[in-house]
Amino acid sequence: MPTGVLNVTIDRDGGAERFEVPAYDNQTVLDVVSWVQQHADPTLSYRFACRVGMCGSCAMMVNDVPRWTCRTHVSKVTDGADIHIGPLRNLPVIKDLAVDMDPFFDKWIAAEGVHHGALTRDDPIARVDAVSVGRVEANAGIECINCSVCYAACDTVTGNADYLGPAALQRAWTLLNDAKDEARQDILDAVSGSGGCHNCHSMGSCTAYCPNDLDPMSAIAGLKRETAKNFFRRGR
Amino acid sequence: MKAPARAHPLWIAYIVHRLSGVALAAFLPLHFWVLAMAVSEPGRLDGFLAMTEATAVKFAEFGLVFLLAVHMFGGLRLLALEWLPWRPAQKSLAAGAAALSFLIAGAFFLQAV
Amino acid sequence: MLGLKLYMAQRITALLMGPFVLGHIAVMIYAIQGGLSAAEILGRTQGSILWFLFYGLFVVAVSIHGAIGLRVIAHEWGKVTGSALDVLMWGMGLAFFALGARAVWAVTFAGVGG
């Protein structure tokens, strides 16, 4: 049974639109958006898949904060009945609440966020020490689901179009600490360019808003430390 | 879409560092220009220095020393974050940087009045 | 916009300025007791190679540090890009250095032996 009415404002291509959505005790922001699409305006475009916080496709701005909407309770974002939903910040809008994630993933690749292996399927499986310092550092960042919440939260991304952003740099940091990754110098070079880790101002919005409680700011600090060491050692 | 909520300590530390840096960069040319009068126009420099006796100017000086101190301690906090593996205490360090800057600017102010 | 080299230049000058800033604040707190005058400033600094080196290096460091900082802000908030950004950074850095060097010279060796 509905417990009241939510006043929902959605930023769309034609401007902000208001909808009255029945409120329930147990309701996520994604439920609200889905209700609008199913009962009020079937032309509303948005993106979701798993609904359980694994796929990273449903992130939106909710009352000016980037959130994974499938795991965000309405009660978490408003004390009253007003909810303002918009497309994720810092990315081009395709339509309504769906943004183009290409820049986000292109930067992931530009930061060398890909596996650089040396072994083939014929080699024995490499043993990894689960409690080594590097593995512990890598483990801290590998649960990233590429939802782009950190990228939307970051003011440095807003001001500096070339900046690779927190998610891509955190992935570079996990690979740098991965015993099975063979491209240490390539990664250090990739994060030392004009859009690299040195543009970060440690404002910490990435860490503050990561829905998985990861800490990209500290991962980026790790990259700064390693590139600085490398600079003193190699002079570049 | 508006910018996301920024009311968290490290974002405030970032904006304090940036704005204090801009303010210091704006003040610096004036500071150099006035000091350069020491030999060529000592009378004019003394004129400027006499202004520092006014209470309003003393408050402005307090502000300048505070800006310098808060920019330095905020910067040392950043260097510690980036180059030393001291991560969890960042918020306390940010608060400490502000408190220490206030103390130093306060000491200056007490000497000045 | 900010690669490793500019980052290192900014951080190294920052580290260098730590002691300079503390020294400068200490001198200020000491010097303002009993009021400031041109003669009093010159009495302390004129002809001193130590003050010349202290404030001379301070000026070099602050010129580099400030110019790189303003480059970042000009790009992020002012949307300045490309070679305009380099021109701005070098212009700011050289202006800081020229004004600063003139001031340091004035309070140390400008009036000496002349």
Structure tokens at A174: 């996990």
**What is the β-pairing status of strands A15-23 and A82-86?**
unpaired
Supply the CATH number for residue A149's domain. Answer: 1.10.1060.10
Residue B25 is assigned to a structural domain of this protein: no
Sign of the C-alpha dihedral computed for residues C82, C83, C87 and C90 taken in this order: positive
Instruction: State whether ipTM is beyond 0.90.
Output: yes
| Numbers of helices and strands, H then E, in chain C | 4, 0
Q: Provide the pLDDT for residue B86.
A: 61
**What is the β-pairing status of strands A59-62 and A4-12?**
unpaired
Q: Provide the pLDDT for residue A54.
A: 95
Interchain pair C3, A160: CB under 8 A: no
Residues in chain A predicted with pLDDT less than 70, given as ranges, are 235-236
Q: A194 CA to chain C: closest CA distance, Å?
A: 4
pLDDT higher than threshold 80 for residue B95: no
Between residues C74 and B85, which one has the greater pLDDT? C74
Please check whether residues A42 and A143 belong to one and the same domain.
Answer: no
Please check whether residues A113 and A180 belong to one and the same domain.
Answer: yes
Q: Which whole number is the average pLDDT over B99-108?
A: 80
- Would an 8 Å CB–CB cutoff place A90 in contact with chain C? no
Contacts of A223 in chain B (CB under 8 A): none
Q: For residue C75, what pLDDT band results from cuts at 50, 70 and 90? A: very high
Beta bridge partners of A65: A62
**What CA–CA distance (Å, rounded) separates C32 from C56?**
22
Interchain pair B28, C11: CB under 8 A: no
How buried is residue A213: exposed, middle or buried, by Cβ count under 10 Å (0-12/13-18/19+)? Answer: exposed
Please check whether residues A81 and A126 belong to one and the same domain.
Answer: no
Please check whether residues A56 and A78 belong to one and the same domain.
Answer: yes
C78-A163-C60-C104 Cα dihedral, nearest 10 degrees = 30
Q: Provide the pLDDT for residue B106.
A: 79
Interchain pair A158, B3: CB under 8 A: yes
Asked if residues C68 and C8 have their Cβ atoms less than 8 Å apart, the reply is no
Q: Provide the pLDDT for residue A51.
A: 95
Q: Provide the pLDDT for residue B98.
A: 76
Residue with tokens 């024995």: A124
Burial A158-196 (b: 16+ CB within 10 A, else e): ebbebbbbbbbbbbbbbbbbbeebebbeebbbbbbbebb
Nearest to A178 by CA among A117, A88, A93: A117
CB atoms within 10 A of CB C9: 15
The H or E element containing residue B87 is none
Mutate to test the interface with C, among A169, A198, A200, A201 (most CBs of C within 10 A): A198
Q: Give the nearest chain A residue to B84 (CA atoms).
A: A225
Residue B33 is assigned to a structural domain of this protein: no
Residue A149 has φ and ψ, to the nearest 5°, of: -65, -45
Rg (CA), chain A: 20
A154-A159-A162-A163 Cα dihedral, nearest 10 degrees = -30
- Would an 8 Å CB–CB cutoff place B5 in contact with chain A? yes
Q: If you count residue pairs, one on A and one on C, with CB atoms under 8 Å apart, how many are there?
A: 34
Amino acid at A160: N
**What CA–CA distance (Å, rounded) separates A146 from A156?**
18
Domain limit, last residue, from A53, A81, A99: A99
Residue B92 is assigned to a structural domain of this protein: yes
Q: Give the nearest chain B residue to A87 (CA atoms).
A: B1
> Could you tell me the pTM of the whole model?
0.92
Domain holding A186, by residue range, is 102-234
Amino acid at A108: W
Q: C69 CA to chain B: closest CA distance, Å?
A: 8
Contacts of B4 in chain A (CB under 8 A): 61, 64-66, 89, 152-153, 205, 209
Please provide the DSSP assignment of C19-46 as one string: HHHHHHHHHHHHHTTT---HHHHHHHHT
pLDDT for C1-35, tens place per residue? 899 999 999 999 999 999 999 899 888 888 888 77
Q: Provide the pLDDT for residue A15.
A: 93
Amino acid at A146: N
Q: C83 CA to chain B: closest CA distance, Å?
A: 22
The DSSP symbol for A199 reads: G
Domain chopping of chain C, boundaries = 4-108
pLDDT higher than threshold 80 for residue B92: no
- Would an 8 Å CB–CB cutoff place C72 in contact with chain A? yes
Is residue A112 left, alpha or beta, with left meaning phi > 0 and alpha meaning psi from -120 to 50? left
- Would an 8 Å CB–CB cutoff place A158 in contact with chain B? yes
Give me the number of domains chain A comprises. Answer: 2
**What CA–CA distance (Å, rounded) separates C31 from C19?**
18
- Would an 8 Å CB–CB cutoff place B11 in contact with chain A? yes
Q: Which whole number is the average pLDDT over B61-83?
A: 89
Please check whether residues A120 and A183 belong to one and the same domain.
Answer: yes
Cβ contacts of A234 within 8 Å, gap of 6 or more: none
Between residues C113 and B103, which one has the greater pLDDT? B103
3-state SS class at C71: helix
CA-based end-to-end distance of chain C: 47
Q: Provide the pLDDT for residue A35.
A: 98
Cβ contacts of B71 within 8 Å, gap of 6 or more: B17, B20, B21, B24
How buried is residue A205: exposed, middle or buried, by Cβ count under 10 Å (0-12/13-18/19+)? Answer: buried
Please check whether residues A37 and A130 belong to one and the same domain.
Answer: no
Please check whether residues A62 and A123 belong to one and the same domain.
Answer: no
**What is the β-pairing status of strands A4-12 and A98-99?**
unpaired
Q: Provide the pLDDT for residue A234.
A: 78
Please check whether residues A129 and A91 belong to one and the same domain.
Answer: no
Structure tokens at B89: 């205490």
Please check whether residues A149 and A171 belong to one and the same domain.
Answer: yes
The DSSP symbol for A201 reads: -
Mutate to test the interface with B, among A133, A192, A201 (most CBs of B within 10 A): A201
Question: Count of residues for chain A?
Answer: 236
Please check whether residues A191 and A83 belong to one and the same domain.
Answer: no
Interchain pair C103, B40: CB under 8 A: no
Nearest to A144 by CA among A70, A213, A220, A65: A213
pLDDT higher than threshold 60 for residue C114: no
Give me the number of domains chain B comprises. Answer: 1
Fold of the domain spanning C4-108:
3 helical TM bundles of succinate and fumarate reductases (1.20.1300)
Domain holding B62, by residue range, is 54-113
Beta bridge partners of A61: A66, A86
Q: Give the nearest chain A residue to B10 (CA atoms).
A: A203
